[in-house]
């Protein structure tokens, strides 16, 4: 007996790599998706800039249009895969106000205009799903929003940019320079022609803003996310970290923090950090992504997989489409964004971390005592002090410099970022320090 399903009209905005794969899956898996949803998902059109452009997938030509507005107004579900801020923002608002639900993978738009879009959806009972906006195929948005809704997330450590992870992994495993590793990433298609968004940490910061807002029920503006990229990471730092049992990763860190005065707040930050090789994130190689969640009751959870790729990201998009379509069948309003907590956003100076500092110092009696006193004045406790002469460091020094200076590697205990940063400034102007050669934070310990 053939089951007759109701029909849901799906409009797709964007026919690029991900969009083409979403369209293919909707067309090829239509009957299977209908059985899962309880309704037919009809792809009614694909809005693009140029209907004659070459596509990565062979799709029916009559699906393509340049009239996005007309397509949106006739849809029950709108999938936005255009990227950028405008016209994507206006198209999503039009979809919401016309009664459609929205699926998007647009991290830049959500990080910048998320509160506006979620407020518009809440006003009319619409739904915005965005699983593919954070870590490609990895399911992390829905677990945070639904599976862990009864728990309290304490901390998120995320490798959420495949390009930078590929580069740092090559520097660690092959001894490549950042320049050579970036060139390889570009050749393999992991890096854009202009890699600034990736290596500068901007992409990861957008994802950190989304994750922090979701995990801590607090609106976290992109401007509040502290950001450092990997541009200054050197082979010498990578080697020094490896020797000490660490690997360098670009981390997006979202954390619920209680400061010295007992005030609860939220921190969202992105920077390269040393991670112990025993930590699960240290084993994330190549262009893969991973998100490590620490929750009050559930404990430590790891989400790992492909952070990009057309068909991989399309999987996350289709998961959101099925979820929304099921709501249409069941009825009821969409799930609103949860921002009830509205905790204060702490700047980087109020968070607690550890530093690994490499110093070039004069090779004379009393230097260690002087260095220790600098840390002591800022109430920063030392966990490790060792003299190091790695081949990479030695190769940069003349014979005279090698005899006149020594290299100290110093690890700290936990301290506030403000105290640690001030200590480094003090060291840079101290008479026994000839150079602050390297500063990296230590996370995951």
Q: pLDDT of 213-252, one tens digit each?
A: 999 999 999 999 999 999 999 999 999 999 999 999 999 9
Confidence bin at 341 (pLDDT 50/70/90): confident
Strand partners, 408: 359, 387
pLDDT at site 391: 43
Q: HSE (CB half, 13 Å, CA atoms) of 397?
A: 20
| Token digits of residue 440 | 């990296």
Residues 368-386 have a mean pLDDT of: 95
Confidence bin at 66 (pLDDT 50/70/90): very high
pLDDT at site 331: 85
Lowest mean pLDDT, pick from 113-127, 166-180, 303-317: 303-317
**What whole-number percentage of the chain has pLDDT above 70?**
96
For tokens 């849809």, the residue is: 75
Q: pLDDT of 385-419, one tens digit each?
A: 988 654 444 445 555 445 578 999 999 999 999 99
Q: What average pLDDT is seen over the chain?
A: 93
Residues annotated as catalytic (active site), given as ranges: 207
| Token digits of residue 233 | 């990471």
pLDDT at site 388: 66
d(CA 290, CA 284): 7
Hey, which bits of 263-404 come out as E strands?
Answer: 264-276, 288-295, 299-306, 352-362, 382-387
pLDDT at site 389: 54
Lowest mean pLDDT, pick from 5-9, 68-72, 331-335: 331-335
**What whole-number percentage of the chain has pLDDT above 90?**
84
Taking each helix axis from N to C terminus, what angle separates 107-124 and 88-97, rounded to the nearest 10 degrees?
A: 20
Q: Backbone phi, then psi, for 114, in 5-degree steps?
A: -55, -50
User: How many residues are listed for the chain in this entry?
Assistant: 445
| Token digits of residue 52 | 């004659």
pLDDT at site 378: 96
Rg (CA), the chain: 25
d(CA 114, CA 207): 12
pLDDT at site 403: 56
pLDDT at site 274: 98
pLDDT at site 2: 61
Q: pLDDT of 111-154, one tens digit each?
A: 999 999 999 999 999 999 999 999 888 999 999 999 999 999 99
Confidence bin at 307 (pLDDT 50/70/90): confident
Q: Which helix (H) or strand (E) holds 242?
A: helix 235-243
pLDDT at site 259: 83
For 103, 350, 415, the CA distances from 83, given in Å and listed in that order, are: 12, 34, 39
Global confidence as pTM: 0.92
Cβ(424)–Cβ(357) under 8 Å?
Answer: yes
pLDDT above 60 (res 52): yes
pLDDT at site 261: 85
Q: pLDDT of 278-292, one tens digit each?
A: 999 999 999 999 999
Q: Backbone phi, then psi, for 269, in 5-degree steps?
A: -150, 155
pLDDT above 60 (res 102): yes
| Token digits of residue 317 | 């998009």
Strands 405-412 and 299-306: unpaired
């Amino acid at each position: 007996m053939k089951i007759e399903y109701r029909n849901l009209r799906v409009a797709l905005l964007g026919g690029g790599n991900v969009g083409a794969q979403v369209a293919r899956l909707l067309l090829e898996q239509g009957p299977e998706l209908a059985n899962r949803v309880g309704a037919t998902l009809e792809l009614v059109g694909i809005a693009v800039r140029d209907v004659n452009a070459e596509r990565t997938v062979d799709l029916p030509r009559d699906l393509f249009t340049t009239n996005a507005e007309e397509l949106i107004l006739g849809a029950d579900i709108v999938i936005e895969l255009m990227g950028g801020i405008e016209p994507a923002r206006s198209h999503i608002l039009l979809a919401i106000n016309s009664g459609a639900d929205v699926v998007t993978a647009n991290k830049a738009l959500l990080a910048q205009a998320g509160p506006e879009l979620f407020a518009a959806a809440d006003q009319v009972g619409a739904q915005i799903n965005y699983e593919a906006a954070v870590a490609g195929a990895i399911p992390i948005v829905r677990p945070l929003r639904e599976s862990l809704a009864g728990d309290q997330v304490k901390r998120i450590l995320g490798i959420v940019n495949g390009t930078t992870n590929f580069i740092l992994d090559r520097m660690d495993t092959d001894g490549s320079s950042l320049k050579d590793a970036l060139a390889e990433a570009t050749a393999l298609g992991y890096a854009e022609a202009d890699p600034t968004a990736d290596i500068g940490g901007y992409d990861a910061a957008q994802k950190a803003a989304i994750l922090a807002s979701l995990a801590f029920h607090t609106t976290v503006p992109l401007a509040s996310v502290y950001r450092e990229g990997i541009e200054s990471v050197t082979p010498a730092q990578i080697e020094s970290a490896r020797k000490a049992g660490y690997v360098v990763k670009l981390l997006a860190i979202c954390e619920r923090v209680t400061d010295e005065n007992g005030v609860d707040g939220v921190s969202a930050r992105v920077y390269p950090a040393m991670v112990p090789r025993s930590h699960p994130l240290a084993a994330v190689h190549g262009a893969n992504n991973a998100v490590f969640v620490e929750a009050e009751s559930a404990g430590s959870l790891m989400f790992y997989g492909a952070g990009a790729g057309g068909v991989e990201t399309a999987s996350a998009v289709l998961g959101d489409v099925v979820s929304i379509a099921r709501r249409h069948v069941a009825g009821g309003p969409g799930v609103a964004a949860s921002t009830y907590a509205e905790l204060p956003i702490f700047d980087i100076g109020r968070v607690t971390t550890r530093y690994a500092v490499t110093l070039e110092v004069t090779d004379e009696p009393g230097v260690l005592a002087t260095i220790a006193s600098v840390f002591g004045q800022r109430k920063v406790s030392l966990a490790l002090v060792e003299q190091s002469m790695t081949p990479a460091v030695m190769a940069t020094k003349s014979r005279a410099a090698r005899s006149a200076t020594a290299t100290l590697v110093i690890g700290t205990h936990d301290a506030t970022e403000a105290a640690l940063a001030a200590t480094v400034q003090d060291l840079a102007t101290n008479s026994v320090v000839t150079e602050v050669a390297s500063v990296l934070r230590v996370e995951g310990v």
